[in-house]
Structures are given as C-alpha cells and as structure tokens.
Amino acid sequence: MLNFNTFFGSSPRVRPPFDIGRRVKQRAVARRYAAALTESVQRSDELEDLLQKLQELNTILLSSAELREVLENPLFGLDNKFAVLEAVFEKLAFQDYLRKFVRLLVENKRIAHLPEVLEAFKKAVDEATHQISAEAITPVPITDEQETDLKQQIGKMTGKNVNLQKKLDPEVLGGLCVIIGSRVYDGTLKNQILLMKKRLIEGYE
C-alpha cells in the first residue's frame, strides 16, 4: 500500500530544463499567445472547451506530416494555408475567435510552437478554474482507492482541484513518481536503486 503522507513529506527535485535558452524563449512567446487567447474569452466556462479543441488540433498536426508541411513551409502562401485550415476548422467546429487565433499563429510562423502554446494555455485554464494538473507514473495500474487518496493529498498540498493523468512505465520497477509542474516526487524503486548506487560510489571515493 502506498503511503502518500510519507511520500509527499520528502523534498521534490526539479526537472532539469532541456536547452535552457531556447526553451525559455519558446515558453515566453507561448505565454503571450496563451494570455491573448485567454483574454479573448468572455466566459470562463468556455476555456475548457477551447482547450479541448486546441488539443484536438494539436493531435491532428502531430499525426499529419503533410499538414505540418503545408502550414510551416514558407513556400506555401497564406491563402493556401488558410484554405487547408478551413477544412480542419469545420471538422473541429472552431469558434470564430479561435479560428483567428490559429490563423495568427500560422501568419506569424508560430504554428510549430502550438504544443508550447497549448501547455501555457492549459496552465491558464487550470488557474482560472482553480485546478492543477499532475502526472502519476507507476509500473502497474493504481486502484481507484489509491487514485482518490493521491488526488486528495495533492489537493491538500496545492489547495486546488486535481486533474490527474496516469501513465504506466514498467521501467520504474515499483513505487510511484508524481510530477506536478516542475516538481518531481520520485518514490520509484528504480530511483531508490540509483540513489543507493550513488551512495555506494561516493562511499568508495
């Protein structure tokens, strides 16, 4: 049985950033676009619907190299790009202001950064709806009872409603790893073995 009280009593580590300068710049740009989209929404209850539609668009882009090529390649004119987008807009039932937002990303050559914009917008939605996203990584599925307990512990720690995403990874061997933003609470057996090896090596130096 996982003891979440003990688990969250330990100090989290911070995930090291990848290519710090480039990532910081991309995130700063993404936050500006996400903020502009958030401000264009009149009612807070529309935010989650917009988030879902952007996630659907991102899934389509990730699955279609041809579509990404058209939207990102400067050899294709804006008229051609917008014409291709219209079919996607109709399929996903995009609102007018969301269509304008995506066209703006394409026009400003930022559509390739949609994942970063989506991440920033997700944080804005969480903030507006008093939610927080967390990811739980385990080698085997956790029970409903464990999931409820885990969400309660994260809720107590953050003071927010928890949107928990579960991920299975047999390589962690056992235990649990929880990621909340940049904080990582790693109680996996794999991490414990690595720490033990590190202490043994340091002891012989």
CB 4 within 8 A of CB 150: yes
The answer, yes or no, to whether residue 121 has pLDDT greater than 50, is yes
How far is residue 157's CA from residue 151's CA, in Å, rounded to a whole number? 10
Backbone angles phi, psi at 4, to 5 degrees: -75, -30
Within this chain, do residues 101 and 159 fall inside the same structural domain, yes or no? no
pTM score of the predicted model = 0.62
Within this chain, do residues 117 and 136 fall inside the same structural domain, yes or no? no
173-193 pLDDT, tens per residue? 888 999 987 788 888 888 888
CB 167 within 8 A of CB 136: yes
Q: Please report the pLDDT score of residue 36 as a whole number.
A: 86
CB 116 within 8 A of CB 28: no
Within this chain, do residues 147 and 199 fall inside the same structural domain, yes or no? yes
CB 27 within 8 A of CB 117: no
Closest CA to 118 of 67, 62, 75: 62
User: Which residues in 84-106 are b (16+ Cβ under 10 Å) and which e?
Assistant: bbeebbeebebeeebbebbbebb
Within this chain, do residues 83 and 28 fall inside the same structural domain, yes or no? yes
Nearest-5° angle of CA 52, CA 102, CA 182?
55
| Residue 179 belongs to some domain of the structure | yes
| Residue 52 belongs to some domain of the structure | yes
CATH code, 66: 1.10.520.20
Q: Side chain identity at 25, as an amino acid letter?
A: K
| Residue 99 belongs to some domain of the structure | yes
Name the 3-class secondary structure at 3.
Answer: coil
Within this chain, do residues 63 and 93 fall inside the same structural domain, yes or no? yes
Q: At what angle do helices 47-63 and 114-128 cross, to 10 degrees?
A: 160
Within this chain, do residues 39 and 109 fall inside the same structural domain, yes or no? yes
Within this chain, do residues 57 and 90 fall inside the same structural domain, yes or no? yes
Final residue before a domain boundary, out of 76, 110, 125: 125
Within this chain, do residues 24 and 112 fall inside the same structural domain, yes or no? yes
| Residue 14 belongs to some domain of the structure | no
CB 38 within 8 A of CB 124: yes
124-171 pLDDT, tens per residue? 888 887 888 899 999 999 999 999 999 999 999 888 889 899 999 998
| Residue 7 belongs to some domain of the structure | no
Final residue before a domain boundary, out of 102, 125, 148: 125
Q: Please report the pLDDT score of residue 21 as a whole number.
A: 56
Within this chain, do residues 174 and 104 fall inside the same structural domain, yes or no? no
The answer, yes or no, to whether residue 1 has pLDDT greater than 50, is no
- Domain region containing 148: 131-204
| Residue 82 belongs to some domain of the structure | yes
- How many other CB atoms sit within 10 Å of the CB of residue 39? 9
